[in-house]
Structure 1
């Protein structure tokens, strides 16, 4: 029996895909939790049509797990609900072939719904959809506001084995095994040693309908950056980056190296960010951030910056969700340490990039690559909404060294960020009450796990000294 999918998925999409890909034997069906971790199942080819016709029952507790996959009872999604099932449905347009798998497999994203078809409000994808819908219904401009954007993906390629000192070390070139421990920033020749791997990453992106673009060697040994094509649909932008992470991880593993998406795997070098470029279009497709004359800022982009500045402190847990995330924030590390804004300035948190006024946008720089892009985008859009609605003044532009600016209420550690997030009415509205409770409960549980763990740092500092 075919039911009406609340996600808008149609069995016709699955039928056409199966006809076009007779070689594919199985499919990864993937739901993303509060940490952005893909959870789900691998189904066989003959099961795909039934998934599109009737959805798939999954336990509600799948959205109440911590980073280790353990239940967090304080989310209210475990025994408070009897660990019952809800129904996941495929997301239209996300059914793709996976590159280089043997036997051949496909992948499709899904979202969680209640049994009567309402969006499950602790699903991060639904949270972003709600912010997009709120902008579209906004009466500030004719036809509502329509966010467009793209994420940048920074990551490390590491050797599978630790070094003699127990630390992670950059991967050898997959082409010829050459090793470099230098900061090969912007070195084109250095990229050549990894081209076989990156060729497979690009092929995987193409098979998934993702336009991966510029590749650079970044500001740390073994660190790289991939940029993504600007999307007119922010949900697609978030889908792109979360899917590309999975592609990079799989292709790196196939080439015998480890892709690392920790925010700060090495304390001596820069960490990995996930910068979010965002602009707003009106109902006719015009960029509302664009100035009439270059250099005379449009008040709307200033108000958007004002909203993002005002809400940044209470939102930092979304942008830096893990213990390791907070090691990334250090002076002159290319990670912002204050809610500053500026033009063509990489030391600020909110940057207006240089370039054509037709492409005027905000680059939101606080997020680490370990953050959930659906939640990052949702909170950024909510901050922009607040700034536009309240016409918030962003204050003076930061010129020169943004690291000299004060923190101005930004949390300086993970625990402070958790406390600020729990108390934030803005974040509760941006995420919705249910996901706000889920997310902050998960982070509190992870913080408790870290604090009760006796690490090598404890032995190094205290074993022979106290």
Structure 2
């Protein structure tokens, strides 16, 4: 059987077409540096050709800001005369989206020689996965997604507001944290999400109502770290497309409401051995594994350089304005949600750590890449993580960037970030973020007019 450069086979397309005769179109989704899906919708009869020879897309997609505008300094805009590259489907990602009635498949970009395209963010994680495997490790992980469900209609004063419950049509102004009855009132929506996940090789697990009106959290099943990052892309599209059919918008901003909780994307990570055993498992009963502690030490040492990956937008930094479960530090602790790297209480053979800094607006491939790279560096250097902390000290995180611009500057100067992303993606990512910063820095907001316009 012939396999594509991505490892996919034509049999996947044939199986899909036989299983879903009602699917007349398929969404072809490539993830840009922001984590946004770019691509096209193809017709049913075109699917097999995608699995034979790929699909052409412009590499300039990796040099665009969130609005789709080209950033000339990215090095991706017309750097080869504007020619397209070939995108090939990723194995195991072809599925059916019941909310749209279409199929969906993730793709990655390859150059003319069939090699991974250097500015495609997924390949930054692929490179770290390969590095780990050469060392005898199999990275395993899972993400938790926090997000808001927002009403499509604004309130009487033009304000955004939480969505009405899908079952009752009622809207609650209260936080209702972990209220099971609130989940029941939103059950028709989440039942549709879970039903869709079954068609997408996506295992969604626990659901809770979070610490704000309209905020929820979904956890995704633990598995191979690369597929776990793919799961985030698939889950976000599933939630978004389903929400629209219910008259809602799914909001993955890190801080959509200034007075309410921010939304994180917590990464749970461990390393498995050749036989599948957890190499982070406790030793001598309940003693934390030195290998895991060294991994935490490496992440602590590099986290300041990676803050632009973990908090990539201006809005991302509003999440750190309050310390309410949103750590802007490099501390670690056991069963403590105020630290950056938390070791959950579930120990023994299930031991792992949770990286809590990234916002739900960040690119999961880049988050996983810098986290895994830091962990591997820590193990290689046998880095001591220092003592565990409990709670947040005002001095914590003093060496971290304190603003979006600081994070841009630090990531630009960082040999670690450049090495993990690669020169081309590093250049493009930094250039795009600089352009976004300049756009927002030159925009005068209504808040500024209200505060200063008639006073100073």
TM-score, normalised on structure 2?
Answer: 0.98
Match of 1:244 in 2: 235
Q: Does 1:409 align with 2:409?
A: no
Match of 2:108 in 1: 111
Match of 1:209 in 2: 201
Match of 2:66 in 1: 67
**SS, match of residue 80 in structure 1:** coil
Match of 1:352 in 2: 343
Using the alignment, how far apart are the partners of 2:62 and 2:3 within structure 1? 24
In the TM superposition, 1:107-146 aligns within 5 A as 107-138=104-135, 144-146=136-138
Match of 1:147 in 2: 139
Match of 2:308 in 1: 317
What whole-Å deviation, never above 9, does each CA across 1:231-290 have from its counterpart, x for those lacking one?
A: 1x1111011111111111111110011111000011111100000000001112121111
Q: Does 1:283 align with 2:274?
A: yes
Range that drifts further, 193-202 or 8-17:
8-17
Match of 2:77 in 1: 78
Moved over 3 A (4+): none
Contact in 2 for aligned 1:11/1:49 (Cα 8 Å): yes
Match of 2:21 in 1: 22
**How far apart are residue 402 of structure 1 and its match?**
2.1
Point out where structure 2 has 5 or more consecutive residues left out of the alignment: none
Contact in 2 for aligned 1:155/1:225 (Cα 8 Å): yes
Match of 1:419 in 2: 409
- Pick from 174, 179, 182: which aligns with 1:187? 179
**SS, match of residue 304 in structure 2:** helix
Contact in 2 for aligned 1:200/1:251 (Cα 8 Å): yes
- Pick from 226, 244, 269: which aligns with 1:253? 244
What whole-Å deviation, never above 9, does each CA across 1:347-372 have from its counterpart, x for those lacking one?
A: 00000000131111010000000000
Using the alignment, how far apart are the partners of 1:126 and 1:415 within structure 2? 26
Match of 1:161 in 2: 153
Contact in 1 for aligned 2:99/2:241 (Cα 8 Å): no
TM-score, normalised on structure 1?
Answer: 0.96
Please report the RMSD computed on the Cα atoms of aligned residues, expressed in angstroms.
1.3
Using the alignment, how far apart are the partners of 1:314 and 1:136 within structure 2? 25
Q: Does 1:219 align with 2:211?
A: yes
**SS, match of residue 329 in structure 1:** helix
**How far apart are residue 379 of structure 1 and its match?**
0.6
**How far apart are residue 162 of structure 1 and its match?**
2.1
Match of 1:97 in 2: 96
**How far apart are residue 4 of structure 1 and its match?**
5.7
Contact in 1 for aligned 2:2/2:10 (Cα 8 Å): no
Contact in 1 for aligned 2:281/2:347 (Cα 8 Å): no
Using the alignment, how far apart are the partners of 2:302 and 2:48 within structure 1? 44
Contact in 2 for aligned 1:77/1:83 (Cα 8 Å): no
Range that drifts further, 283-292 or 248-257:
283-292
Contact in 2 for aligned 1:30/1:108 (Cα 8 Å): yes
**How far apart are residue 3 of structure 1 and its match?**
7.9
Q: How many residues align?
A: 456
Using the alignment, how far apart are the partners of 1:68 and 1:310 within structure 2? 34
Using the alignment, how far apart are the partners of 1:48 and 1:71 within structure 2? 29
**How far apart are residue 403 of structure 1 and its match?**
4.7
- Pick from 327, 331, 343: which aligns with 1:340? 331
**How far apart are residue 165 of structure 1 and its match?**
3.5
**How far apart are residue 396 of structure 1 and its match?**
1.1
Match of 2:168 in 1: 176
**SS, match of residue 303 in structure 2:** helix
Contact in 1 for aligned 2:286/2:348 (Cα 8 Å): no
Contact in 1 for aligned 2:75/2:424 (Cα 8 Å): no
Contact in 2 for aligned 1:336/1:403 (Cα 8 Å): no
**SS, match of residue 200 in structure 1:** helix
**SS, match of residue 42 in structure 1:** strand
Using the alignment, how far apart are the partners of 2:397 and 2:426 within structure 1? 24
**SS, match of residue 86 in structure 1:** strand
**How far apart are residue 224 of structure 1 and its match?**
0.4
**SS, match of residue 217 in structure 2:** strand
**How far apart are residue 117 of structure 1 and its match?**
0.3
**SS, match of residue 202 in structure 1:** helix
**SS, match of residue 328 in structure 1:** helix
**How far apart are residue 456 of structure 1 and its match?**
1.0
